[in-house]
Amino acid sequence: MVEINNDNLENALSGGDASSKNQPQISKEEEIGFHNGALNTLANERNELLKMIQNVEMIMQAHLKRLEELGVKIEQKKK
């Protein structure tokens, strides 16, 4: 897992010095728009992931219920 530098997001994301000459300079408004767009996209992705997890859980529960109806006892693993 990549460690995120919360103190300097630009360095964390670019893997280097944000003031280097290789990086284009953008206005504050453009940067705000970029970060807002990224957050909106990530929030939507998270919501879709939660929907997938809910669907998988629902299908697993249906299989567990049917197995119980067939007389198969399933032990749940403890965390």
Percentage above 70 pLDDT, the chain: 75
Position 42 in a domain? yes
Torsion angle of C-alpha atoms 49, 30, 17, 19, degrees rounded to 10: 180
Position 6 in a domain? no
Question: pTM of this prediction?
Answer: 0.60
Provide the residue range defining the domain that includes 34.
27-70
Contacts of 58 (CB under 8 A, 6+ apart): none
CA-only gyration radius of the chain, Å:
23
Query: What's the number of domains the chain is made of?
Result: 1
Position 19 in a domain? no
What sections of the chain are H helices per DSSP?
Answer: 9-14, 28-69
Position 16 in a domain? no
What are 2-40's pLDDT values in tens digits?
676 677 776 666 665 555 566 778 999 999 999 999 999
